[in-house]
């Protein structure tokens, strides 16, 4: 008997795969420009920029209209406010990007909140009403969506409860994405906060990713239409022994190769508080160890934008072109790293 119309939507596998293919273009990567209101405020405060809607809009316009950005960047992740904003000439930002051949997407989680009964651990919220929100985001041009889950390392954490709750939420969000042919970029992030050694990052990332792929399978998420965005395996920011690019590459790939199914269309890395050049050098060291079953590239926020925002804040009306040069430079360095063709001496060409 035919299924009653409207009872259940079946995803369009081809559409999902096509979007994933447009995100993973060899030698290009993704910019995360989806800082939530509180995060954006913290970044603006740090460089002395007034946190006004017009400043947020002008800053994103600077990023998205940089001439030639599409040479290095295949996709950009936007925030709810940003996808509703327009360029000075009145073009919605999602359209500005799409016209350059850059795929626009949207962060849809509503942030990480304290996990009940688990001090020091968080659960990401935002599933309620997400199906309805997707209708609007799709109409605004979003073709993929991001959900970030954070997992801390500390005494007795991460707990199994935290790993399971976050993996479950990631899988439910991914299913909702695929129902409307939006590619989920699921971002389970083991934080760099703390003085833990690289081994603890390896253990926590392994546990977390295992849980995530188990939940994705349980929820029926199409693995070849779901993108993983993950942390590199790396020592904590305050660890006495900091990880070298070789150590990061070895541990990260050991973890990913053991867990990530070959059918995943690609893996993105977040920068997670690494230094700008450190994030580039680590990506380069990883890529040099290819080939892999999946394309790997960057999806950085801080490691690309930190120097851009700093330069712009020094003179918002006069430094637009210089800030754009900085953006193009860091994007190019990371695009080279994504092909394993970066070297530290290239930093001498820095325009800042
Ligand atoms: P960072 O590169 O600054 O870690 O940001 C990536 C991101 O998308 C966080 O959700």
**Is the pTM here over 0.85, yes or no?**
yes
Residue 144 falls within a domain, yes or no? yes
Q: What is the pLDDT of residues 186-202, one digit of tens each?
A: 999 999 999 999 999 99
Would you state the torsion angle of the CA atoms of residues 276, 279, 280, 283, taken in this order, to the nearest 10 degrees? -170
Residue 351 falls within a domain, yes or no? no
Q: What pLDDT, on the 0 to 100 scale, is given for residue 310? A: 98
**Which band of pLDDT confidence, cut at 50, 70 and 90, is reported for residue 52?**
very high
Residue 41 falls within a domain, yes or no? yes
Active site residue 187: yes
Beta carbons of 245 and 282 less than 8 angstroms apart: yes
Query: Taking all residues of the chain, what is their mean pLDDT, rounded to a whole number?
Result: 97
**Distance between Cα 148 and ligand 1 center (Å):** 9
**Which band of pLDDT confidence, cut at 50, 70 and 90, is reported for residue 48?**
very high
Upstream peptide bond of 158 is cis (omega within 30 degrees of 0): yes
Q: What pLDDT, on the 0 to 100 scale, is given for residue 128? A: 98
Domain count, the chain: 1
**Distance between Cα 67 and ligand 1 center (Å):** 23
Beta carbons of 15 and 181 less than 8 angstroms apart: yes
Q: State the catalytic residue, choosing from 107, 122, 146, 229.
A: 229
Residue 231 falls within a domain, yes or no? yes
Q: For residues 135 and 284, give the distance between their C-alpha atoms in angstroms, rounded to a whole number.
A: 38
End-to-end CA distance of the chain: 66
Nearest one of 127, 98, 111 to 19, comparing CA atoms? 98
Residue 25 belongs to domain with CATH number: 3.20.20.70
Ligand 1 atom with least separation from CA of 304: 2
Q: State the catalytic residue, choosing from 35, 61, 121, 187.
A: 187
Q: For residues 253 and 107, give the distance between their C-alpha atoms in angstroms, rounded to a whole number.
A: 26
Range of the domain at 333: 13-343
Q: What is the pLDDT of residues 71-81, one digit of tens each?
A: 999 999 999 99
Q: What pLDDT, on the 0 to 100 scale, is given for residue 1? A: 46
Q: At what angle do helices 198-218 and 160-179 cross, to 10 degrees?
A: 50
Q: For residues 258 and 247, give the distance between their C-alpha atoms in angstroms, rounded to a whole number.
A: 17
Q: What is the pLDDT of residues 283-295, one digit of tens each?
A: 999 999 999 999 9
Q: For residues 116 and 351, give the distance between their C-alpha atoms in angstroms, rounded to a whole number.
A: 47
Residue 7 falls within a domain, yes or no? no
Q: What is the pLDDT of residues 270-320, one digit of tens each?
A: 999 999 999 999 999 999 999 999 999 999 999 999 999 999 999 999 999
């Amino acid at each position: 008997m035919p299924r009653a119309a409207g009872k259940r939507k079946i995803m369009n596998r081809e559409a999902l795969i096509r979007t994933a293919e447009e995100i993973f273009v060899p030698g290009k990567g993704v910019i995360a420009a989806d800082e939530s209101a509180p995060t954006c405020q913290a970044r603006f405060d740090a460089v002395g920029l007034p946190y006004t809607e017009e400043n947020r809009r002008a800053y994103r316009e600077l990023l998205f209209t940089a001439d030639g950005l599409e040479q290095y960047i295949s996709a950009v992740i936007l925030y709810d406010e940003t996808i509703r904003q327009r360029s000075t000439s009145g073009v919605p930002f999602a359209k500005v990007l799409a016209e350059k051949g850059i795929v626009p997407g949207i962060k849809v989680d509503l942030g990480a909140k304290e996990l009940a009964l688990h001090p020091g651990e968080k659960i990401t919220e935002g599933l309620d009403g997400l199906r309805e929100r997707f209708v609007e985001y799709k109409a605004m041009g979003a073709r993929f969506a991001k959900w970030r889950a954070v997992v801390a390392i500390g005494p007795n954490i991460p707990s199994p409860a935290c790993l399971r709750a976050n993996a479950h939420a990631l899988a439910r969000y991914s299913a909702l994405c695929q129902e409307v042919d939006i590619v989920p970029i699921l971002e389970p992030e083991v934080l760099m906060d703390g003085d833990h050694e690289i081994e603890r990052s390896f253990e926590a990332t392994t546990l977390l990713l295992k849980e995530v792929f188990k939940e994705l399978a349980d929820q029926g998420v199409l693995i070849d239409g779901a993108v993983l965005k993950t942390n590199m395996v790396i020592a904590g920011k305050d660890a006495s022994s900091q990880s070298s690019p070789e150590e990061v590459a070895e541990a990260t790939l050991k973890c990913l190769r053991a867990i990530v199914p070959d059918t995943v269309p690609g893996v993105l890395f977040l920068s997670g508080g690494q230094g700008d050049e450190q994030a580039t050098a680590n990506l380069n060291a990883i890529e040099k160890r290819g080939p892999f079953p999946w394309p790997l590239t960057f999806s950085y926020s801080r490691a690309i934008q930190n120097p851009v925002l700093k330069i712009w804040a020094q003179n918002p009306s006069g430094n637009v072109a210089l800030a754009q040069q900085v953006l193009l430079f860091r994007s190019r360095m990371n695009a080279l790293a994504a092909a394993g063709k970066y070297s530290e001496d290239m930093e001498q060409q820095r325009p800042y």
